[in-house]
Amino acid sequence: MTLSAERLSRFARHIVLPEIGGVGQVALADAHVVIVGLGGIGSPALQYLAGAGIGKLTLVDDDTVDASNLQRQTIYAERDVGHGKAVSARRWLANFDPKIAVDLDDRRIDINRAPQIVAGASIVLDGTDNFATRLAVSDACVAMSVPLLSAAVGRFQGQVAAFAGHLADSPCYRCFVGDAFDAEDCDTCADDGMLGAMAGWVGTFAAMQAIRALLAPVGAMGPAQWGTVHLLDGLQPGMRSMTIPKDPQCKTCSATA
């Protein structure tokens, strides 16, 4: 792929970065990112992935916009209340950059549909709010040999982690959380509350980590950090990181060990 003069101008601030350059910007333009969940994490992640010039985005969410979402879900406005998030997100994307290819899926993702949704993606960014969906997406990513960027947020804390469980030496999300959460039993932000800016921090950091992973083969931002979980604290504030080993007993990815 070559970039047009208009695209070169649009992404000039990226291209002058030696860690990205023209080669890296072309790699981003060639990338296909699936965003599962277009809420507090998916909204800012979508904005910065689109701003980075990702060539194709698949938007997955079966929910509708509620007025209570507007405190943290930054792509929506009052006119979107009552409308589907996936459709509203596509409208935002069309207004922001019509040259980005976009697919949408506004049905609930489950273990049966997840593989076909993630197949062929460069990376999947999961910002959903229940373990059943997260594990279904993770298992599908392993099966389809697609890396996963998993992000979660609540109150003043967040986490962002990169997984490539299809690789022999890399864990999957199930290695991290185990098998105990194959149910929709998570606490929700409606129950616990959430600082809107905290969701923004987690979502934008997730977008940066996705870009890091996409550029790892060609750029100088460093390795993709597979198996690394970053814990974000909005009250301190600060961040710490830990490495997750591959679980040799993991029912999803142990066959690749």
Active site members: 189
Q: What is the spatial distance between Cα 151 and Cα 99, in angstroms, rounded to a whole number?
A: 27
Say yes or no to pLDDT of 256 above 90.
Answer: no
Residues 43, 71: contact at Cβ < 8 Å? no
The pLDDT, as a whole number, for residue 66 is 97
Structure tokens at 103: 């697919």
Q: What is the spatial distance between Cα 246 and Cα 227, in angstroms, rounded to a whole number?
A: 8
Say yes or no to pLDDT of 190 above 70.
Answer: no
Show the CA angle centred on residue 99, arms to residues 33 and 218, nearest 5°.
Answer: 50
The pLDDT, as a whole number, for residue 180 is 65
What's the pTM value of the predicted model, to 2 decimals?
Answer: 0.94
Say yes or no to pLDDT of 176 above 60.
Answer: yes
Say yes or no to pLDDT of 191 above 80.
Answer: no
Give the sign of the dihedral formed by CA 2, CA 46, CA 203, CA 125: negative
Q: Dmax of the chain from CA atoms?
A: 52
The pLDDT, as a whole number, for residue 181 is 63
Type of residue numbered 201 = W
pLDDT band, residue 189 (cuts 50/70/90): low
Q: What is the spatial distance between Cα 18 and Cα 6, in angstroms, rounded to a whole number?
A: 20
> What is the phi-psi region of residue 9: left when phi exceeds 0, alpha when psi lies from -120 to 50, beta otherwise?
alpha
Task: List strand residue ranges (DSSP E) for 6-122, in order.
Answer: 32-36, 56-60, 101-105
Q: What radius of gyration, in Å, describes the C-alpha atoms of the chain?
A: 17
